[in-house]
Structure 1
Amino acid sequence: MKVVAIGGGTGLSSLLRGIKHLVPHTITDLSAIVTVADNGGSSGRLREEMQIPAPGDIRNCIVALAEDEDILAKVFQYRFTEGNGLKGHSFGNLFLSVLTKITGDFLDAVEITSDILKIKGKIIPSTDEMVDIVAEFTDGAVIKGETQITEYGKQLKGKIKNIWMEPSNVKAPEEAVQKIMEADVIILGPGSLFTSIIPNLLVSDIKDAVLKSKAYKIYICNVMTQYGETDQFTASDHIKAIHSAVGKPFIDAAVVNTTVPPDELLRKYMKENAEPVTVDAGNISRMGITVFAEDLLETGDYVRHNPYKLTALIDKILKRIKKRNAA
């Protein structure tokens, strides 16, 4: 089956780290379409100083798809803790930035880096142009920039009412559109709703291809709400926000976690104004969306999806789709 995953941040890289093990037996062609709207941290600094698309999420996804996450993958994830001008940067971000300048093409830089790490799939930015996301909040404030949107949201003056991209006419790489149109399955998420998933769908070419594609479309809902973005959002609220961003419903299935984190972790997250996403399965089902609900929780210091539990469920869904298509 041909599978396209769309998103960004740690959520998408975590998914890819698991489902790459389904290649090539269950998944014959795996592609990831990744946002480049990040303007914080190392990515944000390189973006501004070198005038290139943000490399951070791309780097994380390349490393996640590396055939063997060996020493070379660790080198790409290495973050400098000292050095004037180097502190805070990751080696992989610098590598992608230098390659972009040498080749004159961000897409070529991504391709070469992917070849070096021998990845089990294809990484494609949703656009190779400089972009920013802009959000309008319910209090009337209009905030530009991924980091600024999240920080303003934490002030709890209003919730995100509308979101768009500037410039609005950016193009997606032709290969990204082609992969979406040829896909059997498209997976959205997990990841930050307004700053990792939706930004990809704000690129008109990506949005149009997703809506036109005959692929089975799956949304993987976050385990926890995100302070400043999705406070008090239920699972169906996440889906409604995605549908609102593209202007029409299109999701066929939703993957949701059923397990509540241990009390100690729960209290830790509650102090950070995050809480488990309420799985309102009835509301999702009433939207005509199939619900896949299982224990997907990672046990450790953080509350997140376990890549291997998630992969096992995705594997079951893919086999179910394949069986249905063959009938």
Structure 2
Amino acid sequence: MFVVAIGGGTGLSTLLRGLKNHVDKEIKGLTAIVTVADSGGSTGRLRKIYQIPAPGDIRNCIVALAESEDILRSLFQYRFKGGELEGHAFGNLFLVALTEITGSFLTAIRISSQVLRTKGEILPATLSPVDLCAEFTDGNVVYGEEEITNYGRVHKGQRIVSIWLEPKDVTAPPEATDRINAANLIVIGPGSLYTSIIPNLLVKDIRDAVANSKALKVFVVNAMTQPGETDGFSAYDHVQTFAKHTGIRPDAVVLNTKIPSDKLLKKYLEQGQEPVLADASKIAREGYLVYADDLIGEKEDFVRHDPERLASLLIKVYEENATFSEV
């Protein structure tokens, strides 16, 4: 089968680490379509200087799919300390330098992928510099991905009522829509709902291609709520909010049912995050296929989906529900 994964942040890179182990086995081709609206940290600074799409999530996906030695993966993730380079990730600088040299952000991604020998293709949702914008329930409009999350954190109780890209008419690389059109399985998420997942579908070409695709569409709900974005959201709320802002109804929904350890849970609760309630029956009543399982790992100090468990479940979902011939 041919798989397209759509998202951003740590959620998409975690998913890719699992899926790459199935490339050349169950998976014939793997493509990641990545949001480029990030406005914070090293990525935000480089965007302002060079007027390019945000490189940070792209870098993380290249590293996630890399088959190269540990030293090269570590090099791409290395952050400089001190001086004018403080906080910059080497991989971000590498992508910017290649973009300047070749004149193409897409070419820069391809060369970087060749250097790290990725088991899959990485494509930005758009090649245009874009800003994520949101209107909250108090009527205030906030510009910038990082600023949107920060506003929600500071103004507790305020919700996002509408979200869009500026400029609104940006286009996707033709390669991105081609991969969607050829896909058997489209995986959306996991990740921050408003700032990692939805922005990809705000690009009209991407949204239309996904909506018209005959592929099995699977939405993976985040394991934890996101402060300033999805405070108090259940899994049902995630699915309904995604459908509301994108107009896309997935075929299946994947939920995590495992609660983190007491120590880890306490840490997250102190940060205003809590496990997303897996209200599977409520989602199923809306006609979605629901797959609920223990999907988070236990080896880290963070709550993350276990890459292999998630990848294996997604392959199972496809095998049980695909009703069309493979491309």
Is TM more than 0.5 here?
Answer: yes
Q: Is contact 1:256-1:293 (8 Å) kept?
A: yes
Report matched runs for 1:283-298 at 5 Å.
283-298=282-297
Match of 2:179 in 1: 179
Partner of residue 118, structure 2: 119
Counterpart-to-counterpart distance in 1, 2:283 and 2:17: 27
Cross-structure match for 2:37: 37
Work out whether 1:319 is the aligned partner of 2:313: no
Deviation at 1:68, TM superposition (A): 3.7
Which residue pairs with 2:101 in the alignment? 102
Letter in 1 for 2:209: A
**Aligned pairs for 1:235-250 within 5 A:** 235-247=235-247, 249-250=248-249
Distance 1:157 1:277 in 2: 18
What is aligned with 2:46? 46
SS of equivalent residue, structure 1 residue 172: coil
Q: Where does residue 168 of structure 1 map in the other structure?
A: 168
- Aligned ranges 1:193-204 → 2 under 5 Å: 193-204=193-204
Structure-2 separation of matches of 1:291 and 1:41: 36
**Is the 2:177–2:209 Cα contact (8 Å) retained in structure 1?**
yes
- 2:149 maps to what in 1? 150
Q: Is the 8 A contact 1:139 1:157 kept in 2?
A: no
- Once the two structures are superposed, residues 119-142 of structure 1 have per-residue CA deviations (whole angstroms, 9 ceiling, x without a partner) of 111000000101001001011111
Q: Residue 190 of structure 2: SS of its match in structure 1?
A: coil
Output the CA distance in 2 between the equivalents of 1:294 and 1:49. 44
Give the Cα–Cα distance (whole angstroms) in 1 for the partners of residues 68 and 316 of structure 2: 24
Q: What is the Cα deviation at residue 320 of structure 1? A: 2.2
Question: Identity of counterpart residues, as a percentage?
Answer: 56
CA distance in 2: counterparts of 1:124 and 1:69, whole angstroms: 23
Aligned to 1:192: 192
Task: Report deviation, 1:310.
Answer: 1.1
Amino acid in structure 2 at the alignment position of 1:106: F
Alpha-carbon distance in structure 1 between the residues aligned to 2:113 and 2:260: 35
Kept in 2, the 8 Å contact 1:126–1:206? The answer is yes
- 1:136 corresponds in structure 2 to 135
Which one-letter code corresponds to 1:240 in the other structure? Answer: Q
* Other structure's SS at 1:161 match: strand
User: In structure 2, how many angstroms separate the alpha carbons of the residues matched to 1:302 and 1:113?
Assistant: 28
| Mapped partners of 1:218, 1:243: distance in 2 | 12
List gaps (5 residues or longer) in structure 2.
Answer: none
Deviation at 1:309? 1.4
Q: Equivalences for 1:58-77 in 2 at 5 Å? A: 58-77=58-77
Q: TM-score, normalised by structure 2?
A: 0.96
Question: Any conservation in 1 of the 2:216–2:318 contact (CA below 8 Å)?
Answer: no
User: Equivalences for 1:70-85 in 2 at 5 Å?
Assistant: 70-82=70-82, 84-85=83-84
Q: Tell me the amino acid that sits aligned with residue 234 of structure 1.
A: S
C-alpha contact 2:255 2:290 (8 A) present in aligned 1: yes
Q: Distance in 2 between matches of 1:39 and 1:69?
A: 30
Count of equivalent residues: 323
